[in-house]
């Protein structure tokens, strides 16, 4: 049968500064730049693609980006608003990544325990929310 989804390609994140964002994702999360940055005339934006373990993020920067609304910065308030919320990554040790992030001045927004899972929310350099989950059955 034709007309079916075959796989997820990427998640897109709007940035204030694409070069700064590329470096942030490389330094703090281990992504590698695979394409760009380049200018896309039809979209009137700079684009770049970064990748980690086969998962891609498309970063883009408009000439005049709009600021993230304050309520979008708080995970459990923003979750009430309909729409895409965050990117989530599995981690092997919440304690170790917390210590590293504290040394690197990464903004840790909130931590929680959900069932057996340990969860941490952080902001990237643009204020975009990222969820990190240490699951007992996934490493």
List the CATH number of the domain containing 16.
3.10.180.10
Task: Give the residue from 52, 55, 58, 51 showing the smallest Cα distance to 18.
Answer: 58
In terms of domains, do 42 and 102 share one? no
In terms of domains, do 113 and 57 share one? no
Rounded to 5, what percent of the chain is helix, strand, coil?
20, 40, 40
In terms of domains, do 81 and 138 share one? yes
Amino acid 138: pLDDT: 54
In terms of domains, do 25 and 82 share one? no
Residue 121 pLDDT more than 60? yes
In terms of domains, do 79 and 31 share one? no
As for how many domains the chain has, the answer is 2
Residue 48 pLDDT more than 90? yes
| pTM attached to this predicted model | 0.89
Task: State both tokens at 46.
Answer: 């700079």
In a domain, 118, yes or no: yes
In degrees, rounded to 5, the angle at the alpha carbon of residue 136 between the alpha carbons of residues 28 and 130 is 30
Phi and psi of 111, rounded to 5°?
A: -125, 150
In a domain, 86, yes or no: yes
Residue 99 domain boundaries: 75-139
Percent of the chain with pLDDT over 70: 98
Residue 130 pLDDT more than 90? yes
Distance CA 55, CA 128 (A): 17
């Amino acid at each position: 049968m034709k007309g079916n989804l075959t796989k997820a390609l990427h998640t897109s994140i709007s940035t204030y500064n694409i070069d700064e964002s590329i470096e942030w994702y490389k330094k703090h999360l281990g992504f590698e730049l695979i394409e760009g940055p380049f200018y896309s005339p039809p979209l009137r934006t700079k684009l770049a693609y970064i990748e980690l373990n086969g998962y891609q993020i498309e970063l883009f920067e408009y000439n005049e980006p709009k600021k993230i609304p304050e309520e979008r910065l708080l995970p459990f308030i923003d979750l009430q608003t309909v729409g895409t919320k965050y990117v989530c990554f599995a981690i092997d040790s919440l304690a170790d990544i917390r210590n590293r992030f504290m040394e690197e001045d990464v903004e840790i927004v909130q931590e929680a325990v959900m069932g057996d899972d340990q969860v941490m929310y952080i902001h990237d350099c643009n204020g975009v929310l990222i969820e990190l989950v240490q699951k007992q059955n996934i490493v």
